[in-house]
């Protein structure tokens, strides 16, 4: 990207026809704004180590990344895999810097000791374009950005959701203009049919084309783009790769995407982001998601039927990994206990206890199970099965 940088992080440009609509007059993150310097402390610049030694951080920056735990950054696989040979970079070839501006006297630069590339990353399609970097030492003074959890999915990635992109990437859709200070842009998440089924989508009166199924996959990718007040397209561009697509504000802000690719920049095609919620298993395994036991008991919704009690819960939102949802139904008069379990790999867990006596009072409670321990027990809920659902 910048002069003399050995790692060529090329645009993953798709072979598609030109957009039906002509390019915006002055496309200038393209069409973003300077980021509030204090707002994105968890965003790091990836540096080519050699270039950093010779020319400094500004010339060496080639991608972005997000600090999700004190010693782990999430970035794009294509940032750390040679796009021609498919070879992974050696950790010694990259450095990480924190701080919103690149041209400063004493940048905070940290070495990388590990690079985990998603095992199913595909060069050609950019499928699973995600990688995890381990820092040589943990940073304890920089706020982290939590990864979106399964239970937050609907709320955080629905079509039309407003999102933020940040990076030091090219600000020009026609030339090369690399900023010194971090920039941000507001974008909107596209519906899935525009991200793998070719459907167009309108953002603030501007119609975007969608990617077809041979171009993008809504399962692993999120498409997003924004429009300025002057109807100019807001998009990520070269150099923004690996950086975050963020949803929510303040403590509710979550990492939902990683800048991956796009048809040129700020064209009438959306930018494409790695869908982080589809990569949770990889992120957990590589330490990008803190592994904690579920801290709160399950919230139960209990329905009594004819001789049966059906209990439903949603996955916890504290980022813990739940492998089981266990319910017990106790007859307090006799002490008899009946139970059921389910494996809530998805966002809800449901199980039913049958063989109950209608008109009898039962107490229902439940826990989440996880490899790191169980949650506290949910408070008892009283139910009385009957012929008529209550």
Provide the binding-site residues for ligand ARG, judged by CB under 6 A: 9, 11-12, 169, 235-241, 259, 261-262, 265, 271
Encode burial over 195-227: b for 16+ CB neighbours within 10 A, e otherwise.
Answer: bbeebebebeebebbbbeeebbbbebbbbbbbb
| Residue 241 among the catalytic residues | yes
Residue with tokens 């999102």: 163
Between residues 149 and 157, which has the closer beta carbon with respect to ligand ARG?
A: 157
Between residues 94 and 237, which has the closer beta carbon with respect to ligand ARG?
A: 237
Between residues 51 and 315, which has the closer beta carbon with respect to ligand ARG?
A: 51
Between residues 100 and 242, which has the closer beta carbon with respect to ligand ARG?
A: 242
Question: Catalytic pick from 52, 116, 129, 235?
Answer: 129
Between residues 72 and 237, which has the closer beta carbon with respect to ligand ARG?
A: 237
Least distance CB 161 / ligand ARG (angstroms):
17
At 280, give phi and psi (nearest 5°): -65, -35
Least distance CB 265 / ligand ARG (angstroms):
4
| Residue 52 among the catalytic residues | no
Nearest residue to 94 (alpha-carbon basis) of 118, 71, 111, 119: 111
Between residues 134 and 241, which has the closer beta carbon with respect to ligand ARG?
A: 241
DSSP letter at 100 equals: S
Give me the DSSP letters along 274-340.
EEGGG-HHHHHHTTSS------SPPPPEEEEETTEEEEEEE--SSS----EEEEEEE-TTT--EEEE
Closest residue to ligand ARG using C-beta atoms = 262
**Distance from first CA to last CA of the chain, Å, rounded?**
65
Least distance CB 219 / ligand ARG (angstroms):
19
Instruction: Check: CB of residue 77 under 8 Å from CB of residue 115.
Output: no
Measure the CA–CA gap between 312 and 326, rounded to whole angstroms: 10
What does the radius of gyration of the chain's CA atoms come to, in whole angstroms? 24
Question: Catalytic pick from 217, 241, 277, 320?
Answer: 241
Instruction: Check: CB of residue 257 under 8 Å from CB of residue 163.
Output: yes
Query: Measuring CA to CA, how many Å separate 166 from each of 175, 236, 352?
Result: 19, 8, 46
Q: Is 143 helix (H, G, I), strand (E, B) or coil?
A: coil
Residue with tokens 């998440």: 189
Instruction: Work out whether strand 61-69 and strand 43-48 pair parallel, antiparallel, or are unpaired.
Output: antiparallel
Catalytic residues: 129, 241
């Amino acid at each position: 990207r910048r002069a003399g940088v050995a790692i060529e992080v090329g645009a993953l440009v798709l072979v598609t026809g030109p957009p039906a609509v002509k390019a915006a007059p002055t496309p200038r993150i393209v069409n973003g704004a300077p980021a509030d310097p204090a707002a994105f402390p968890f965003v790091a610049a990836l540096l080519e180590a050699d270039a950093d030694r010779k020319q400094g951080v500004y010339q060496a920056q080639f991608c972005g990344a997000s600090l999700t735990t004190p010693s782990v950054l999430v970035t794009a696989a294509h940032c750390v895999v040679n796009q021609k040979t498919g070879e992974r970079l050696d950790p010694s070839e990259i450095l990480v810097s924190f701080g919103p501006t690149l041209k400063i006297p004493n940048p905070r630069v940290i070495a990388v000791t590990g690079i985990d590339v998603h095992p199913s990353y595909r060069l050609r399609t950019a499928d699973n374009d995600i990688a995890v970097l381990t820092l040589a030492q943990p940073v304890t003074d920089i706020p982290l950005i939590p990864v979106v959890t399964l239970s937050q999915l609907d709320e955080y990635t629905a079509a039309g959701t407003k999102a933020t992109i940040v990076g030091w990437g090219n600000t020009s859709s026609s030339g090369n203009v690399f900023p010194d200070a971090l920039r941000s842009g507001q974008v909107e998440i596209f519906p899935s049919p525009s991200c793998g089924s070719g459907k167009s989508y309108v953002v603030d009166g501007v119609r975007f084309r969608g990617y077809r199924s041979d171009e993008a996959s809504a399962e692993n990718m999120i498409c997003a783009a924004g429009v300025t007040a002057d109807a100019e397209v807001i998009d990520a561009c070269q150099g923004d790769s690996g950086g975050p697509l963020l949803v929510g504000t303040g403590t509710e802000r979550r990492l939902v995407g990683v800048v991956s690719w796009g048809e040129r920049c700020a064209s009438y095609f959306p930018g494409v982001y790695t869908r982080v919620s589809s990569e949770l298993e990889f992120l957990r395994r590589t330490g990008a998601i803190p592994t904690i036991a579920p801290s709160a008991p399950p919230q139960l919704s209990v329905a009594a039927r004819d001789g049966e009690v059906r209990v439903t819960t949603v996955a916890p939102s504290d980022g813990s990994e739940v492998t089981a949802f266990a319910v017990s139904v106790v007859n307090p008069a006799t002490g008899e206990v009946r139970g059921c379990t389910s494996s809530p790999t998805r966002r809800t867990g449901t199980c039913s206890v049958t063989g109950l006596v209608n008109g009898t009072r039962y107490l229902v409670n439940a826990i989440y199970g996880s490899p790191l321990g169980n949650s506290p027990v949910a408070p008892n809920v009283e139910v009385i099965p009957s012929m008529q659902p209550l």
